[in-house]
């Protein structure tokens, strides 16, 4: 019975091809805003504070500083209003939920970027 429920659940949820990201990454979420009969795309750039849930109820929270005030926004993974997600930087953090960022400001609120290996140039 559980396999049948999972199959129906899989058929009903639309699959979005979002990139892999985790807490600490800096992302830009482009989402649709509907004002009256007009529709536009607005971007929200900030650090991912947490990813939670699984399946259709999975969501992630993005935090940014706007005019010196911290703004957090929660986005469902499978929302039809999310146009795209772009990963700007991969952050180097040691925990899954970054609630400590809420009390920080200035330089102490920065998240280090993860160092990536670069392929050596081949000489011809």
Q: What is the CATH number of the domain that holds 46?
A: 2.30.30.790
pLDDT number for residue 28: 96
Establish if 118 belongs to a structural domain: no
Per the structure, the complete domain to which residue 38 belongs is given by: 24-102
Establish if 97 belongs to a structural domain: yes
Name the least confident of 22-26, 61-65, 115-119: 115-119
Establish if 10 belongs to a structural domain: no
Neighbouring CB atoms inside 10 A of 106's CB total 7
Establish if 124 belongs to a structural domain: no
Establish if 73 belongs to a structural domain: yes
Tens digit of each residue's pLDDT (9 = 90 or more) over 49-94: 999 998 889 999 999 999 888 999 999 998 889 999 999 999 999 9
Percent of the chain with pLDDT over 70: 89
Establish if 11 belongs to a structural domain: no
Residue 113: CA count within 13 A, CB half-sphere: 8
Q: For the chain, what is the domain count? A: 1
The answer to whether the Cα torsion of 34, 39, 45, 50 is positive or negative is positive
Question: Phi then psi for 44, rounded to 5 degrees?
Answer: -130, 110
Establish if 89 belongs to a structural domain: yes
Establish if 109 belongs to a structural domain: no
Cα torsion through 75, 36, 83, 69, rounded to 10 = -50
- Whether the predicted pLDDT of 19 surpasses 70: yes
Q: How confident is the model at residue 14 (pLDDT cuts 50, 70, 90)?
A: low
pTM score, whole prediction: 0.78
Whether 101 contacts 26, CB under 8 Å: no
């Amino acid at each position: 019975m559980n396999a049948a429920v999972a199959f129906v659940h899989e058929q009903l949820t639309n699959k979005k091809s979002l990139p892999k990201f985790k807490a600490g990454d800096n992302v830009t979420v482009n989402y649709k805003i509907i004002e009256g009969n007009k529709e536009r795309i607005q971007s929200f750039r900030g650090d991912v504070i947490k990813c939670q849930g699984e399946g259709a109820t999975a969501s992630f929270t993005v935090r940014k500083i706007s005019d010196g005030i911290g703004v957090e926004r929660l986005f469902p993974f499978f929302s039809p209003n999310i146009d795209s997600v772009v990963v700007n930087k991969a952050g180097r953090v040691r925990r899954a939920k970054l609630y400590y960022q809420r009390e920080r400001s200035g330089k102490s609120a920065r998240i280090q970027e993860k160092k990536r290996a670069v392929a050596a140039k081949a000489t011809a």
